[in-house]
Structure 1
Amino acid sequence: MRWLPLALIPLPLLAQPVFPPAEFARTDPARIELGQLLFYDPILSGNQEVSCATCHHPRFGTGDGVSLSLGDGAHGLGPDRVADPENLPEQRIPRNAPGLFNLGATEFTHMFHDGRLEADPTRPNGIRTPLGDAMSEGFDSVLSAQAMFPVLSADEMAGHYSENPISQAVRMGHLSLAGGAWDQIAERVAGIPEYRARFDQVLGAGAPIHFTDISNVIADFIRFEWRADRSPFDLYLAGEAELPEAAARGMDLFYGDAGCADCHTGRFQTDHDFHAIAMVQIGPGKAARFESHARDEGRMRVTGDPEDAHAFRTPSLRNVALTAPYGHAGAYATLEGVIRHHLDPIGSLYAYDRTQAVLPVLPGVEDWRILDDPQEMAAIAAANELEPMELSDDEVAALVAFLEALTDTAGAEGRLGVPESVPSGLPVDR
């Protein structure tokens, strides 16, 4: 049977299956349970205060409910997270924490908003990373490999320069070298009896524990925990349920006149490509510490191609109603707001309402530098690919209703949930 893109299927036929089944690798339950504990355990961070779940929590749709996160140097969860006045973060994390839904499906071959980590069969280990081929060895997948970045980031998990042995190793560039940051993290984990016993079960008794072993089981957990492909939309396609009237009108627009499916295509509503849509830039930008600007040029930072300036990955829309704020910098607090941006990207860029940003207080930062720079704003506008279009308020509301019909409640809650405790004995973000 030949599968057609959903955008090409006449609406009366939409009750028929239009996608091949999503492919997810099967995983050993022991590995999943071990990955769950490590995902919620702050033991992986330099100061033992930040876990993966700090910025990717089920309470906030596997994000953290803010535009730009505060990592090391802050306390609390989600919008209630506050900076520690005795150890202030140096800056906000430059990009919005993306959701984790369906990242274990085989079609997700690029990670991060700019796709800087990607599956690449031409590379020695099958993964392309800006850190080089030596840093990709031992990872089972790109989903596993993405775990290397937060633990090596001073802003996210490693901690301020030189304030703990892991942050010191990161500052000196001792990452995957013997005795470097990864080895120190693995030694911490191996030194906890319950983790040692659990790794004995999945690796073999007494087998050395490497950082890649830790990231591989975390990836197994994410793949299992946040699979989300049983939404009302999926049930409708399978002929098991009807969509509410408003959602059905929104689906008609999404796959029809509104043109959403030009980019948000496929089972998970993404073409896995990169597009410039004049998305609003707030916060510190993705710049090196020595750079003074707050610019984030997106995919161009990866490819070096000016044609990729200000282009970012098309996000999947599964459980999108739960993952606000929206955009690579989390500029829009609501689905309606980000939809209206798509209708008139350049106009929306220049008319941006700064109260939409959800930014925990961080003294001394300049969050609006790009918005206040006419040249930078003009560069973002010039890269825009989308033509303006008009939709009525009722049509926008119908699109919101359809996007809400992409919510898989069971997938959003997670299958194992948040553990009561973790083997390190450190506090769990609940």
Structure 2
Amino acid sequence: MDHLALRRGAACLSALLLLMGLGACSSDDPVDVDVRADLRTKYGLTPYSYEDIPYPQDNAPSDAGYAERVELGRLLFFDHLLSGDLDTSCATCHHPAFAWGDARPLGAGVTGVGLGPDRILDSDDPYITDMPRNVPTNLNVGLSSATPGGMPDAEGIMFWDSRDASLERQALQPAATFDEMRHYAYSDSAAADSVAGRLRQIGGYLPHFRSSFPDYAQEMDSNPGDDSKHVIRTGSIEMALAAYQRELVTLSSPYDDYVAGDDGALSDAQYRGLDLFFGVAGCGMCHSGPMLSSYEMLRVGVAHSGPGRVPESRGGTGDDHGLMEHTGLGSDRYRFRTPGLRNVELTGPWFRNGLAMSLRETVEFFNLGARMPDTDIEGTDVERLIDERLQANADELIDPRVRPLNLTGDEIDDIVEFMKALTDRTIDSPLIDPTVPASVPSGIPPVPIIEPFSLVPLPEHSGR
């Protein structure tokens, strides 16, 4: 969770809670039924469903072959053929068992052995390091906004530094990145064409591409020998991968049930947490809208960790400047995209570099306002999450919405419980098979099938 509101005193909080009908409630008291319903109106919470998903004009369910395209994207997503050394697939770092993430603080790509938190890099090459940032989930990845505070958009921003927009444009970037998938096999500029050339040599892929892109297939048949007109081309690979990822939507959480009108969908602790989250704690100032993100690029004061965007072993500084890398503006140093919070319970460790090891730590960090406390906090080492480099000018350098909150322990617990109400273990799209395929056309074994992410409705709510 990010960017909580301004400091407020206990007296102010008590007065506000009394006005909301919650002031007399202890941490164990039930929340009044009328108050539950009123919270929807109070915070302007409106439903968002699978039918609302934005699609690009040239990659939508109305296209001939779209359902086949989604399945082709699934095969490509799990095929190690897309990596330079044939040892890494998209699913290596975005495995269904880990909510389409990897459950590691920082990603581990080429030369890695194992999956998830057990994955290690097996190389003596000093150029091979952990990735500089935490691997984000692919769940709801196609529902980001193109503008701060906007609604989900087919041209939504991608990556922690928002360096690109749209699933299609980002689809093959990992295949071109040295430490993610490419390694030394070819240059970054040659990666997309190299992957396309490999796929053309696999006879089992051609019928999948033909059925997925009938117009491209006809164009290929009319231009024999012209690779630029081949149905297996960079554009079709990107569109297939994007089609698969866009259907990975989870919009049936207990929170969604509540927003749609079910006042019994949340526990009392979750209702109290919701009221704090969107109310006096101010989390909703930056975590709003359908994905619980404003998609702003903010400097919130999380400490640096990891090898950096250009590790010292490659002649770099070992730092990660965030948005500044792409704008060149000093004012953008350490600005990163505000993450969405759907399924946040399943996608730790948290923050851009995986420093926070529990949801409670993320709330404790913002409760401190990203400021070093005057005394140690008993039972936690949350101070390690705070960027000491910004402390001397914290009021100037850290986003003004990040200020000490003085939340109580019970209030922090309630906010954490609310964030768990954003968990949805169902996939809403009827077009996608969310499981690991038993095989792929290249014949390279896909990542192992493991179980932690359940693909059936949770007992306490039903998927729509």
TM range (shorter): 0.7 to 0.9
Point out the more displaced range, 95-104 or 24-33. Answer: 24-33
1:337 aligns with 2:361: yes
CA offset at residue 382 of structure 1? 6.0
Deviations 1:349-402 (A, max 9, x none): 99899x999xxxxxxxxxx9x99x975876889622211111111111111110
Q: CA RMSD in A?
A: 3.1
1:54 equivalent to 2:92? Answer yes
Aligned to 2:38: 13
2:405 is matched with which residue: 384, 389, 413?
389
User: Does residue 1:113 correspond to 2:167, yes or no?
Assistant: no
Aligned pair partner of 2:111 in 73, 79, 84? 73
Shift of 1:306: 2.3
Q: In 1, Cα distance between the equivalents of 2:361 and 2:311?
A: 30
Equivalent-residue separation in structure 1 for 2:374 and 2:94 (angstroms):
28
Shift of residue 51, structure 1, vs aligned partner: 0.3
Query: Secondary structure in 1 aligned to 2:372?
Result: helix
Task: Name the CA shift for 1:338/1:66 in 2 (closer, same or farther; >3 Å).
Answer: same
Of residues 233, 237, 244, the one that matches 2:255 is: 233
Structure 1 residues 294-319: Cα deviation after superposition (integer angstroms, max 9, x where no partner):
21121222222222221111100000
Cα 1:415/1:339, change in 2 over 3 Å: farther
1:347 aligns with 2:357: no
* Counterparts of 1:56 and 1:272, CA distance in 2: 21
Q: Which runs of 5 or more residues in structure 2 are unaligned?
A: 1-19, 21-34, 144-151, 221-229, 449-464
Structure 2 residue 404 is matched with structure 1 residue 404: no
What do the CA deviations read for 1:154-204 (whole angstroms, capped 9, x no partner)?
111001x3xx3x2xx33xxxx1xxxx3211110111211121111011223
Aligned partners of 2:371 and 2:391 also within 8 Å: no
**CA 1:76–1:213: 2 relative to 1, 3 Å:** same
- Residue 82 (structure 2) pairs with residue 44 (structure 1): yes
Match of 1:33 in 2: 71
Moved more, 188-197 or 79-88: 79-88
Q: Given the alignment, which residue of 188, 192, 200 partners 2:198?
A: 188
Q: Does 1:324 pair with 2:338?
A: no
Match of 1:269 among 270, 285, 292: 292
C-alpha spacing 1:13/1:102, structure 2 compared with 1 (3 Å): same
Deviations 1:280-299 (A, max 9, x none): 21111123775442211212
Q: Aligned residue for 1:213? A: 236
Q: Give, in whole Å, the separation in 2 of the partners of 1:303 and 1:57.
A: 32
Contact 2:94 2:138 in 1 (8 A): yes
Q: How many residues align?
A: 371
Q: Distance in 2 between matches of 1:326 and 1:30?
A: 35
Deviates more, 1:239-248 or 1:62-71: 239-248
Kindly name which structure, 1 or 2, has the bigger radius of gyration based on alpha carbons: 2
Alignment of 1:222-371 (within 5 A): 222-224=245-247, 226-240=248-262, 241-287=264-310, 291-344=315-368, 345-347=370-372
Aligned to 1:23: 53
Post-superposition CA distance 1:24-82 (Å, at most 9, x none): 33432100100001001100000000000111112112110001111101111011112
Q: Which secondary structure state, in structure 2, belongs to the residue aligned with residue 95 of structure 1?
A: coil
CA distance in structure 1 between the aligned counterparts of 2:109 and 2:81, rounded to whole angstroms: 14
Structure 1 runs not aligned, ≥5 long: 1-8, 119-141, 358-367
Q: Answer yes or no: is the 8 Å Cα contact 1:309–1:383 preserved in 2.
A: no
CA distance in 2, matches of 1:223, 1:308: 29
Change (3 A) 1:381 1:182: farther
The answer to whether structure 1 residue 199 and structure 2 residue 229 are counterparts is no
Q: What are the superposed Cα offsets for residues 120-177 of structure 1, whole Å, 9 maximum, x if unpaired?
A: xxxxxxxxxxxxxxxxxxxxxx112112321111111001x3xx3x2xx33xxxx1xx
2:137 matches 1:96: no
Give the AA of the match of 1:299.
L
Moved more, 414-423 or 243-252: 414-423
In structure 1, what is the equivalent of residue 462 of structure 2?
none
Do the aligned residues in 1 keep the contact of 2:110 with 2:182 (CA within 8 Å)? yes
Query: CA distance change for structure 1 residues 350 and 93 in 2, over 3 Å: closer, same or farther?
Result: farther
Q: 1:230 to 1:356 in 2, by over 3 A?
A: farther
Q: Matched residues, percent identical?
A: 34
Q: Secondary structure at the match of 1:421?
A: coil
Residue 109 (structure 1) shift = 1.2
Q: Deviations over 1:223-282 (max 9, x none)?
A: 11x201111000011113431111111001001111000100111110011111111211
Deviation at 1:403, TM superposition (A): 0.4
Contact 2:131-2:179 at 8 Å conserved across structures: yes
Say if 2:460 is the partner of 1:422.
no
Question: What secondary structure, in the 3-state scheme, does the structure 2 residue paired with 1:104 have?
Answer: helix
C-alpha distance 382-67 of structure 1, shift in aligned 2 (>3 A): farther
Q: Deviations over 1:2-45 (max 9, x none)?
A: xxxxxxx9964345683364423343210010000100110000
Q: Distance in 2 between matches of 1:356 and 1:151?
A: 37
Given residue 289 of structure 2, which amino acid in structure 1 is its aligned partner?
G
Return closer, same or farther for 1:149/1:350 CA change in 2, 3 Å cut-off. farther
Q: Please, what TM-score do these two structures have when normalized by structure 2? A: 0.73
TM-score normalised per structure 1: 0.78
Output the amino acid matched with 1:309. Answer: R
